[in-house]
């Protein structure tokens, strides 16, 4: 494979024994050839003042001399002594030096960047790139020589705790992932390799869901209701049970986008004899097909899922009667049909109030469903279906003599207008044009009210 110089910046440089030489910080092309400037992080031990121990020494000393009993009083005393506004760790150290108090020290380690000798292109065995980064494998054991580690012909067996988490690089310098664990069979040992990736997913927002449920029902009423629905130990209002209850009642489950680190295992393990070198990284004699088993591990936050044992164990009895429609109509589909049906019925009765009737019917459907997408669809169906039913009913009634009947009942100044509306409602123009208008108005009503109720 070929790479631009910029693609190799930050590439991991590994020697032939599997020890990390460093990371590329610059590619320098000189007349004599390309050079890689490499830096590595080196841990250094240094002694620093042990401030916590110093506080106790000063407190013990001042307790005897000045009757100071706690750290806060000590701070106030030192602030007055040094004539400063507030106190820092450096102030404590300086005060101790001023009073000729022996300052206790402790050893800490920190990482410092160390510049390594340049690597020439001729020193490179192979280079490659994966979604986990770029890697350069060297021909020589340069890093292991610096550390005084003798080269090995073949890697010895090692304990899992010594290997777990090491980077795994294949024979083409492609970083595959990390060593996950060791497997054993009659054929011998093999290693599992995993890839860690950040996965973004939708998870239920339990805080918002609980707020909505508890705004409608008190906890004791919710427990009583869950018991009637067959929940086991309903008094334990766990997230799983509340989520199961909300799904049964047709609530729209609020969600959040969260990112979590997921670990995927390669489906193929690597026999020990296919391991070329084990150093800071594990170098293989082969590569692995990117086929993964099911997700093996997900770090927090985990996606909340309904556990089957928390679901309803009893059949929902038809004898249980509730006043609230969300209990009678348990699933989202049932609520959708219920809302659509109510919208159609309202449309039949008030559909002759053009535009307003369809808007109101669609709004009622959206109110019942409490979800803007389904509410909009239900409102559209209500307006469309209701218009067709009105047209069919009026066409039938007019053929049966409705006009003559209204002539007897209504005064002449109203009759003409009513007859004109009825005839229009039974015409083809009403079916083809008004049905589309009513469907649009129902869509708007369901969309708007559904959106408001879902918030």
User: Which CATH number fits the domain that encloses residue 291?
Assistant: 2.30.30.240
Residue 96, classed as helix, strand or coil, is helix
Element (H, E) at 62: helix 51-66
Are 175 and 290 in the same domain? yes
d(Cα 120, Cα 27) in Å, to the nearest integer? 10
User: Residue 133 region, left (φ>0) first, then alpha (ψ -120 to 50), else beta?
Assistant: left
CA atoms within 13 A on the CB side of 132: 16
The average pLDDT across 388-394 equals 79
Are 281 and 246 in the same domain? no
Q: CA angle, corner 398, sides to 393 and 402, nearest 5? A: 105
308: exposed, middle or buried (Cβ count in 10 Å: 0-12, 13-18, 19+): exposed
What confidence tens digit (pLDDT) does each residue in 69-85 have? 899 989 999 998 888 88
Are 62 and 98 in the same domain? yes
What confidence tens digit (pLDDT) does each residue in 2-26 have? 889 999 999 999 999 999 999 999 9
Cα 285 to its chain centre, rounded Å, is: 37
Are 304 and 360 in the same domain? no
Are 277 and 342 in the same domain? no
Q: How far is CA 308 from CA 38, 213, 227, 331, in A?
A: 55, 21, 17, 17
pLDDT higher for 143 or 361?
143
pLDDT tops 90 at residue 391 = no
The average pLDDT across 190-218 equals 86
Please, which residues bridge with residue 446 across strands?
A: none
Are 220 and 230 in the same domain? yes
What confidence tens digit (pLDDT) does each residue in 92-134 have? 999 999 888 899 999 988 888 889 999 999 999 999 999 999 9
Please, which residues bridge with residue 134 across strands?
A: 129
Are 176 and 293 in the same domain? yes
Give me the pLDDT at residue 302, please. Answer: 42
Are 342 and 311 in the same domain? no
Q: CA angle, corner 320, sides to 314 and 322, nearest 5? A: 125
Are 191 and 270 in the same domain? yes
44 belongs to a structural domain? no
Give me the pLDDT at residue 328, please. Answer: 34
Structural domain total, the chain = 4
- Domain that residue 335 falls in: 331-454
d(Cα 45, Cα 52) in Å, to the nearest integer? 19
Q: Is the separation of the CB atoms in 15 and 83 below 8 Å?
A: no
Cα 287 to its chain centre, rounded Å, is: 31
Element (H, E) at 52: helix 51-66
What confidence tens digit (pLDDT) does each residue in 288-328 have? 987 777 555 555 444 333 333 333 333 233 223 333 333 33
68 belongs to a structural domain? yes
Q: Which two tokens stand for residue 340?
A: 């659509």
Cα 213 to its chain centre, rounded Å, is: 23
361 belongs to a structural domain? yes
């Amino acid at each position: 494979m070929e790479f631009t110089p910029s693609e190799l910046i930050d590439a991991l440089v590994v020697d032939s024994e599997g020890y990390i030489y460093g990371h590329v910080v610059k590619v320098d092309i000189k007349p004599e050839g390309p050079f890689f400037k490499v830096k590595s992080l080196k841990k250094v031990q240094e002694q620093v003042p042990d401030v916590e121990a110093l506080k106790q020494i000063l407190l013990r000393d001042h307790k005897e001399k000045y009757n100071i009993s706690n750290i806060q009083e000590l701070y106030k005393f030192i602030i007055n002594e040094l004539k400063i506004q507030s106190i820092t760790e450096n102030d404590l150290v300086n005060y101790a030096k001023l009073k000729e108090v022996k300052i206790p020290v402790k050893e800490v380690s920190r990482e410092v960047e160390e510049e390594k000798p340049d690597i020439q292109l001729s020193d490179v065995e192979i280079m490659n790139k994966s979604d986990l980064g770029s890697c350069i494998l060297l021909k020589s054991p340069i890093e292991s020589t610096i550390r005084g580690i003798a080269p090995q012909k073949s890697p010895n067996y090692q304990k899992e705790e010594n290997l777990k988490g090491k980077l795994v690089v294949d024979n083409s310098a492609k970083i595959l992932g990390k060593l996950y664990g060791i497997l054993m069979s009659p054929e011998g040992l093999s290693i599992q390799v995993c890839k860690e990736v950040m996965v973004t997913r939708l998870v239920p927002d339990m805080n918002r869901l609980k707020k909505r449920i508890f705004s409608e029902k008190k906890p004791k009423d919710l427990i009583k209701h869950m018991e009637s629905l067959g929940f086991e130990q309903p008094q334990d209002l766990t997230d799983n049970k509340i989520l199961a209850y909300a799904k049964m009642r047709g609530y729209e489950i609020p969600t959040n986008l969260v990112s979590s680190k997921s670990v995927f295992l390669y489906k193929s393990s690597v026999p020990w004899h296919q391991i070329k070198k084990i150093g800071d990284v594990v170098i293989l004699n082969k590569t692995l097909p990117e086929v993964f088993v099911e997700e093996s591990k997900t770090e927090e936050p985990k996606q909340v899922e309904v556990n089957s044992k928390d679901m309803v164990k009893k059949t929902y009895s038809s004898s249980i009667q509730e006043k609230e429609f969300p209990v009678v109509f348990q699933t989202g589909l049932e609520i959708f049909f219920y809302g659509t049906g109510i919208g159609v019925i309202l449309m039949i009765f008030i559909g002759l109030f053009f535009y307003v009737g369809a808007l109101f019917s669609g709004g009622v459907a959206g109110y019942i469903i409490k979800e803007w997408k389904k509410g909009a669809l239900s409102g559209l169906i209500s307006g469309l279906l209701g218009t067709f039913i009105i047209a069919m009913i009026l066409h039938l009634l007019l053929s049966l003599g409705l006009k003559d009947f209204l002539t007897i009942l209504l005064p002449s100044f109203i009759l003409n207008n009513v007859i004109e509306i009825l005839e229009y409602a039974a015409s083809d123009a009403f079916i083809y044009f008004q049905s589309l208008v009513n469907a649009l108005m129902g869509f708007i009503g369901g969309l708007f009210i559904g959106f408001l109720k879902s918030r």
